Amino acid sequence: MFRGLVFSLLSAVGFACLAILVKLGYRAGLTDMALLQYRFLFGAALLFLFLSLKDPTLLRIRPAALGKAAFLGLVLHGLQSAFFFKALKYIPASTTSLILYIYPVTVTILSAAFLGLKVGRTLILSLLILSVGSCLVFYDAFLREMNLLGILLAFGTTLTFSLYLILVQVFLKGEKPLSVAFYVILFTGLAFLFFNNPLQILRMDGTQFLIAVLLGLVPTAVAVVLQYRAIETIGSAYTAVFSTLEPVATVALAAVALGESVEALQWAGMVLIVAGIAAPNLETVWRERRLKGNGQAGN
């Protein structure tokens, strides 16, 4: 559980950088489709370079696995990313994020229904705490005007992302996470070639180019690989639960990088999110100690 927790938390911090870099990209004059394309194409290029240096055999993939990666990248990951970016055009980021963070609940329900996950009281309590914490972190979502199209797009993000996480767990069985992650990112980038002229890369200034590279590196290549390792280690449901650290990291990074203020309710929400993440891990530690104690007593 501990390794999966570490992978999930590091992945969440990586994904938290996405909103910050997107805001900086908009300020630098980049469009949503351009940011999406650069994110995944640069991410694929950087991951290709890493795998080539680490172990070139990781670039080899079975045709069946390649087909699965194509479906994840071209369809689910592409749709989820497009829905998220488009929703931000119609409703505030806080509202979009609040709706997105329903996904730990939906992933847990899907895992219980289709993957045989046993949902205990601790996991249910954790989900409740995380939900309340997310509401407090994004409390201002309730104060904003709601746009129906934006809300539908945000729910589209939640549903496609939940299904994506479930299928990643299924598709990773017997496969190399690094290999699958590379091809998913590559296919997602190829999907956005149809929505933005890739030759515009040649006309970017230094600031835009730096943002594009960072988008490809941190919330894409690094975060996705860590997410896949987490799913491989502990499954999609617990990865979703532990990844709820992302709004905490997003708020903290926004305060540091963008000068955004953090309200008292948001601090309370962040404390609850940390508590919700800690609950399943504390239960695991307690269970392991109890089993160890029983074993020693039996000897």
41-86 per-position pLDDT tens digit: 999 999 999 999 999 999 999 999 999 999 999 999 999 988 988 8
- Counting the structural domains of the chain, the total is 1
Q: Tokens 């730990």 map to which residue? A: 104
Nearest by Cα to 6 from 293, 227, 263: 227
- pLDDT at residue 296 is higher than 60: no
163-176 confidence digits (pLDDT tens): 999 999 999 999 99
For residue 104, give its domain range: 2-298
- Residues 219/18, Cβ–Cβ less than 8 Å: yes
pLDDT-based confidence at 285, cuts 50/70/90? low
CA nearest to 277, candidates 104, 112, 95, 98: 104
DSSP 3-state assignment of 299?
coil
What is 70-125 written as a DSSP string?
Answer: HIIIIIIIHHHHHHHHHHHHHS-HHHHHHHHTTHHHHHHHHHHHHS-----HHHHH
